[in-house]
Chain A
Amino acid sequence: MHGLINRAIQCYYRDTYGRDAWIGIVRELDLAFSGFEPMLHYPDEVSHAVINEIARVLDKPREGVLEDLGTYLVSHPNVEALRRLLRFGGVTFIEFLNSLDDLPGRARLAVEDLELPDLELREHGNRSYSLTLHCDGNGFGHVMAGVLRAMADDYGALVFLEHRGSGGAIETLDITVFETDFSEGRSFELGAEAS
């Protein structure tokens, strides 16, 4: 799996539970390095082992860990850059949902070798949607559930979201948007602060 994804897992755990907790995972799994490099690739088994170990240590289901990871990616100040990139998807949450099909393409524009699962949004009327993820049932749908919940908050939308489980290589999320301007949400200016 791409280093950026592995790095995301690491940063989520480190920023939430502390550096020592992360070092604990490294030791327990006997990894040959103390942290993932965002621009390198790692075998999928390593990523899964890290997620499973985190779930074991936190005594949480794997799905819960993945969803927390998704929430972290949008809401933690350390990864503000990613939230901004996602917000470029649309001016409203509905527009953002409709931009999800482009997400893998957008990711590739940023980092050429970053492969994200294909996403497919279906509209069932009445602001109810389903998102299909072609992700080999690796749990990416749970990460996406966390991302979407946090993004709904970011846009100030009131949303009901449910992971419908995985069938073979496919995971499906049900999304119902009750209100698009339920709360103020977080501001987003096109022009980033000059850093």
Chain B
Amino acid sequence: MQTALDTLCPMHVVLDDTGHIVHGGPTLSKVLDEPCIGKRFLEVFELKRPRAVQSMTDLREMSGITLHLRMRDATKTSLKGVMIPVASTGQFIINLSFGISVVEAVRNYALTSSDFAATDLAIEMLYLVEAKSAALEASRTLNQRLQGAMIAAEEQAFTDTLTGLKNRRALDHVLARLSEYRSPFSLMQLDLDFFKKVNDTMGHAAGDHVLLQVARILVEETRSDDTVARAGGDEFVLIFHNTWKAEQLAEIAARLIKRLEEPIPFGSQTCRISGSIGITCTSQYDTLNLGRIFEDVDIALYASKHAGRGRYTFYTDDLRDGDVLQGIQAVS
């Protein structure tokens, strides 16, 4: 009987009718740091649940019920158990298992396959724990890589996420292409006027709403092969491909400013902005120098601002000489 139990339930204990341990299965003996024979069961193990059990008398009533126990030694290992009385001898058999703490127990007590009954699922459970953590690790690295790829993709994106216009990166890309192929183009730089006031007094939601309306106007007033980019905050850059007459550009700039000055409703409020524009064309230069062109369009833009905003200015060399009113067109 005992050998059978040792094979079938290597974690069992046999108690006499006073609750003293008379036999321990081989695995249990391996786990306990000192021999337990002769000790009281409740001296070696603390019964956590059911809580009512304080004595052997109480324990006797617990036949067939799941017991939650803890070893009283330093390891404090948790165990599950079930007790049955053996009528013929007056003894009790309690079979124990590590339950969910099996992974730690195997590590702490250096248990091997032979410490478990052949039918015990402990080995399968250990296998699953390792298999799942390996699989999870693979998933985790995939997620990390995807996260990295997403950040990289965002950095490489050519679209301004708020307005859907091209962004600064896209702009640099377009300009690099134009300068590589020596294609003629006209450049307009637009700064919104009074935008900061909208943002400060009506909030960022109003500001974002205005930027979206501006983007819509810019797209509507240009052709699909022109480039419209939001270069930052409230700065926009428009590139008109091929050669344009100054009158045509002036007409576009005037129309843009006029539309930007139309009141923009936001909820119950109304946002009012305008725009200042600087314009230059590659046809004005003997050699194409992007740095120079941007410097010039900036000078033209500041001339517009300086002259009172809500107007456009074509770049001329005179602007550098301080004759800032030259070439400035107010839109009325």
Contact = CB atoms under 8 A, between A and B. Distances in A.
A189 to B, nearest CB: 7
B142 A88 contact: no
B142 A38 contact: yes
Contacts of A109: 127-128, 131
Contacts, number: 57
Interface in A56-107: 81-82, 84-85, 88, 91, 106
A193 B127 CA distance: 14
Contact of B142 (A37, A82, A91): A37
Contacts of A91: 112-114
B140 to A, nearest CB: 10
Interface string B127-152: 11011101100110110010000000
A110 B127 CA distance: 9
A39 B142 contact: yes
Given A37-B145, A39-B139, A110-B132, A191 B110 contact: yes
Interface of A is mostly: loop
Contacts of A194: 107
**A interface, size bucket:** 20 to 34
**B interface, size bucket:** 20 to 34
A190 B112 contact: yes
Contact of A190 (B113, B128, B139, B141): B113
B142 A192 contact: no
A23 interface: no
Interface centre among A111, A190, A194 (most CB of B within 10 A): A190
B146 to A, nearest CB: 9
Nearest to A114: B135
A26 interface: no
Contacts of B114: 91
B135 A88 contact: no
B56 interface: no
Contact of A85 (B107, B111, B127, B138): B127
8 contacts: A38-B141, A88-B123, A88-B127, A109-B127, A110-B134, A110-B135, A190-B113, A191-B108
The 10 closest A-B pairs by CB, nearest first: A191-B107, A110-B131, A88-B127, A191-B106, A38-B138, A81-B134, A190-B106, A91-B113, A39-B142, A111-B135
